[in-house]
Amino acid sequence: MPPGPSDPRTDEEWAHSNEEALESVRASLAAVGSRVAPVMAVYDKIAASVEGLAGQLSELTASIGVWVAKWRSTLPPNWDLDAISITNRRFFEVAQTDEIPIAWVPRSEIVAELFAAESRDSRMEIRLRNDAAVIQDCEGILEECLQPSLDDIHRLAWADILAYKEGHFAAAQALGVLLAESLILDHIRGDRAKGAYARAREEAHVDGRVLLIEFREAIATAPIGPFFEPISLGSGKPPPEWPNRHGAVHFPTLAQFSHANALVVIMLVASLAREVEKRANSN
């Protein structure tokens, strides 16, 4: 803007004065630019690094997704992880220590209750309270067992369930013990030589360090340990009250042949029969 009426400077003086101001501004901007340039260079490097990291994170997320999908595929199909909170300690405690079959049967809602319970007695109560649903689940699983080589076992398993439903719990348990023993020794382990019970127990034992691809199988066979736990005839110890092959054969007590134990043995037969079916179809 040219000088106003009250400005004593001539147009040339005014122009010269503004030129000096403009040069000062230009110098200041240049100084700022020289300082900003390194910052912008660092920013560009950070932006490039973040972009690269985002790509790596995307790949990692995809890899984790694949791993999770693979892990879910190895779980027993009756487990719904949206309803079940699991830990290594809890599921091996239920399947191995408490000898409760939880692979293939029962349904997810009951499995969730079993995991949430804090003691074996509580889990026993849960099974008996839901025994109609558990038996229904066993029937559904047996309908999926179609191997011709196991036809006799499948037919006898149905007879076993019928005996249970009619209230013949001791008879159901006795038959179930024989069926479970045959499934374990002849089809799960394929070994009836001397020492077969001990080998079956050893091979079925899990301590949490189980491979991903073996997870379902480990859970399905975990109850074999207490089922074949040995009994010392001269030890003076009372016979076991949990479902036990040797207890049923050598110590037929009312504590051994109980309503609760009959249900566990039927669950074990259904679970093992379906596991054998799965293996046959995978070969």
- The tokens describing 85, both together, are 């909170």
239 exposed, middle or buried (CB, 10 Å; 0-12, 13-18, 19+)?
middle
Does residue 63 have a pLDDT over 80?
Answer: no
| Between residues 229 and 48, the one the model is more confident about | 229
Asked if omega into 106 is within 30° of 0 (cis), the reply is yes
Q: Are 272 and 184 in contact (CB under 8 A)?
A: yes
Which residue, chain included where needed, has tokens 């038959």?
175
Q: How far apart are CA 151 and CA 153, in angstroms?
A: 5
Q: Which residue has the higher pLDDT, 196 or 72?
A: 196
Other C-beta atoms lying within 10 Å of the C-beta of residue 136 = 15
pLDDT digits (tens, 9 = 90+) for 152-163: 999 999 999 999
Phi-psi domain of 104 (left: phi exceeds 0; alpha: psi -120 through 50; beta: other): left
Establish how many alpha carbons lie within 13 A of residue 106's alpha carbon, considering only the half-sphere containing its beta carbon.
26
- Residue 84 vs residue 205, higher pLDDT: 205
Question: Quick one: pLDDT band at residue 137, thresholds 50, 70, 90?
Answer: very high
More confident residue, 260 or 239: 260
Token pair listed for 180: 């479970």
Looking at residue 80, its pLDDT comes to: 85
Give the closest residue to 156 by CA, choosing from 280, 243, 265. Answer: 265
Confidence of residue 89 (pLDDT cuts 50, 70, 90): low
Q: What is the pLDDT of residue 51?
A: 73
Find the farthest-apart pair of alpha carbons in the chain and give their distance in angstroms, rounded. Answer: 127
Find the range with the poorest average confidence among 34-38, 47-51, 70-74, 124-128.
Answer: 34-38
Q: Does the pLDDT at position 209 exceed 70? A: no
CA distance 176 to 256: 13
CA distance 141 to 138: 5
pLDDT band at 2 (very low <50, low <70, confident <90, very high): low
How many residues are recorded in the chain?
283
